[in-house]
């Protein structure tokens, strides 16, 4: 609602008085329609909630367009702020696109807290625990499974993958793997991740690609414990695979990952 009034105010200088009055009349009708909607919604909510709160979980809001994010937050605050309705909004504070959207639309003086009653921060889940739990039932031989898990955990940590990306990669691993031995398990883990975070580089794998991979990911790996050792292992695997006739191993892995 505030953003609508803000838009009207910004455009007022460029319109004649008649246009401004028509805009204000339209806003008045909209306000009356909202008030009627809210009254009807309250009646419906009171009928179905039986004295209990109705909780609505909102996730992935930060993936939406800035205007939609602000419109949605304003709708919750000014239209859906009725007794019995509780919205729980999950946002990533490390990459808070919701806050950026608010600043873009409403200005730097506005924050997410202006739209919420309470803010809670959840502790970060261990990447290693999360990964081992999800890969626990993957259909691989013990040798391949151990190598995939250990290498995947290293790449996920050193490249600072989000839990959402990790979960997506592990779903691909589970869907792709059978009970046979994997060709180059550490290379397999890296290529699963590369496909998810840099698909253009993944699709363009060839001899010249190693330099691009080294430039993009080696520094992050070296900054992590055992990074030099793990990078050398990956580099050896990549060099060997990229030198193969018709890139046999890489094609085999790509066929597994579809």
pLDDT digits (tens, 9 = 90+) for 14-55: 556 667 667 667 767 777 777 888 888 888 888 888 888 989
The verdict on residue 13 lying in a domain is no
Which pTM does this prediction carry?
Answer: 0.68
- Looking at the fold, whether 135 and 250 belong to one and the same domain comes out as yes
DSSP conformation class of 195: H
pLDDT digits (tens, 9 = 90+) for 155-213: 999 999 988 899 999 999 988 887 566 778 999 999 999 999 999 999 988 878 889 99
- Looking at the fold, whether 139 and 236 belong to one and the same domain comes out as yes
Number of domains in the chain: 2
Q: Residue 108 phi/psi, 5° resolution?
A: -70, -15
Q: Residue 25 phi/psi, 5° resolution?
A: -65, -40
Output the pLDDT for position 24. 64
* pLDDT of 84 above 90: no
Bridge partners (DSSP) of residue 88 are 57
- Looking at the fold, whether 132 and 251 belong to one and the same domain comes out as yes
Dihedral of CA 248/250/252/255: which sign? Answer: negative
Output the pLDDT for position 42. 87
Output the pLDDT for position 23. 67
* pLDDT of 214 above 80: yes
State whether residue 124 is helix, strand or coil. coil
Alpha carbon distance 93, 111 (integer Å): 12
The verdict on residue 28 lying in a domain is no
- Looking at the fold, whether 106 and 131 belong to one and the same domain comes out as no
Tokens of 56: 């609505």
* pLDDT of 258 above 80: no
- Looking at the fold, whether 240 and 178 belong to one and the same domain comes out as yes
């Amino acid at each position: 609602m505030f953003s609508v009034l803000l838009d009207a105010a910004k455009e007022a200088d460029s319109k004649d008085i008649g246009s401004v009055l028509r805009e204000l009349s339209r806003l008045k009708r909209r306000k009356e329609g909202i008030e009627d909607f809210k009254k009807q919604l309250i009646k419906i909510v009171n009928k179905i909630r039986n004295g209990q709160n109705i909780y609505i979980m909102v996730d992935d809001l930060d993936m939406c367009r800035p205007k939609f994010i602000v419109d949605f937050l304003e709708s919750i605050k000014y239209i859906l702020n009725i007794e019995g309705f509780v919205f729980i909004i999950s946002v990533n504070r490390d990459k808070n696109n919701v806050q950026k959207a608010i600043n873009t639309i409403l200005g730097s003086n506005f924050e997410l807290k202006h739209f919420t009653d309470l803010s809670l921060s959840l502790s970060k889940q261990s990447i290693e625990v999360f990964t081992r739990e999800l890969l626990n039932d993957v259909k691989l031989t013990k040798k391949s499974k151990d190598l995939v898990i250990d290498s995947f955990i290293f790449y996920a940590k050193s490249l600072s993958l989000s839990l959402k990306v990790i979960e997506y990669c592990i779903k691909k691993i589970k869907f792709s793997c059978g009970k046979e031995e994997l060709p180059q398990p550490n290379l397999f883990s890296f290529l699963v991740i590369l496909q998810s975070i840099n698909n253009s580089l993944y699709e363009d794998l060839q001899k010249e690609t190693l330099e691009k991979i080294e430039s993009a990911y080696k520094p992050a790996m070296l900054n992590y414990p055992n990074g030099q050792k793990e990078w050398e292992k990956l580099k050896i695997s990549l060099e060997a695979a990229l030198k193969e006739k018709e890139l046999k191993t890489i094609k085999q892995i790509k066929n597994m990952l579809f």
